[in-house]
Amino acid sequence: MKVVAGVDIGGTSTQVALCTEDLTVVDRLEVPTPATAGGGAMVGAALDAVRLLLDRADARLLGVGVGAAGVVDTRDGRILVASDSFRDWAGFAVTAAFQEALGVPAFLDNDVNAFLRGEATAGAVAGEPDVLGMTLGTGVGGALWLDGALYGGPHGAAGEIGHIPGFGDLPCTCGGRGHLETLASGRSIAARYGERTGRELSAREVAEASDPDALAVYEDAGAAVARALLVTVGLLDVTTVVIGGGVSRAWTLLEPSILRALATEPPVSGHPVRVVPSLLGGDAVAVGAAARVRAELGV
């Protein structure tokens, strides 16, 4: 069996998925990310997982795709800007390390871009030519798939929807104020719930609590997401949206306020907007990274 490996290097865990040439996941493994031990250790942990999966599947590896948070150089396969939680990661030559260790081609993408490539290739919006992708995780990420390809923009930051202003006046993690992320990220949902109730719960626990304060916080998050996507729809005429990340697992809490906003403020084009949750879930980034390999190698 010939396989492509997709690697999703997150702040706390690294997911590795082995995919067939048609991007079916045949096996997967999740290992802790040794983020404080540096780039070499992080790639080492991912390599161990890839090798273990290859042994288990008795498969031949065609290539490796990696999705990582932060600003990345997709041509050079190098991390450009990483968050403080990663040690010795900015500047790390990721694809060179994978290629050297495994002897196959390797490619690097930003994790939100990989998420969208995964969903647009083999997930909730497979085959759609134009899609806005949003990830509601610890932070809020965005990506654009236009005319069947990722659109990075002149500085590689297209679709960065989490840090656009116009969403109130709360301080944002980036130092700005009133960004979408202050209402719609997992961290913000927990903080907004804490302000109302004095209780310290995670976004997931807030969703499970489902009390009036929890519903109100998720309602605000959904309404903010809807406003951001309506701006994008109006600007680009992209009417398909896929939403992933941990917060999107509380879809039944988010969806009503999103649908309400779409009903009250439909795009002027009159085209209906379709908003769907991620289908690939925790596999999305890894499958998207594997899809890049398939596209590059033409397998």
Place of tokens 């790639």: 43
> CB of 116 within 8 A of CB of 224?
no
Assigned token pair, 117: 């490539």
Q: Does 172 bind Zn ion (CB under 5 A)?
A: yes
Q: Does 180 bind Zn ion (CB under 5 A)?
A: no
> CB of 131 within 8 A of CB of 241?
yes
Q: Does 228 bind Zn ion (CB under 5 A)?
A: no
126 or 174: CB nearest Zn ion: 174
Q: Quick one: 209 exposed, middle or buried, by C-beta within 10 A (0-12, 13-18, 19+)?
A: middle
- Which of 195, 163, 156 shows the shortest CA–CA distance to 182? 163
Q: Does 163 bind Zn ion (CB under 5 A)?
A: yes
> CB of 82 within 8 A of CB of 89?
yes
Cβ 94 to Zn ion shortest distance, Å = 26
Using DSSP bridges, classify how beta strands 60-68 and 71-73 pair: parallel, antiparallel or unpaired. unpaired
Q: Does 179 bind Zn ion (CB under 5 A)?
A: yes
Selected binder of Zn ion within 126, 149, 174, 216 (CB under 5 A) = 174
Stretches 148-156, 174-182, 186-194, 243-251: which one binds Zn ion (CB under 5 A)? 174-182
Place of tokens 């995919």: 19
Stretches 172-180, 211-219, 233-241, 266-274: which one binds Zn ion (CB under 5 A)? 172-180
15 or 232: CB nearest Zn ion: 232
Stretches 12-20, 110-118, 132-140, 160-168: which one binds Zn ion (CB under 5 A)? 160-168
Q: Does 176 bind Zn ion (CB under 5 A)?
A: yes
> CB of 144 within 8 A of CB of 236?
yes
Q: Does 61 bind Zn ion (CB under 5 A)?
A: no
Which residues, in sequence order, are CB contacts of 189 under 8 Å at separation 6+?
Answer: 203, 206, 217, 218, 221, 247
180 or 223: CB nearest Zn ion: 180
111 or 283: CB nearest Zn ion: 111
Report which residue's Cβ sits closest to Zn ion: 172
Tell me which residues touch Zn ion (CB under 5 A). 163, 172, 174, 176, 179
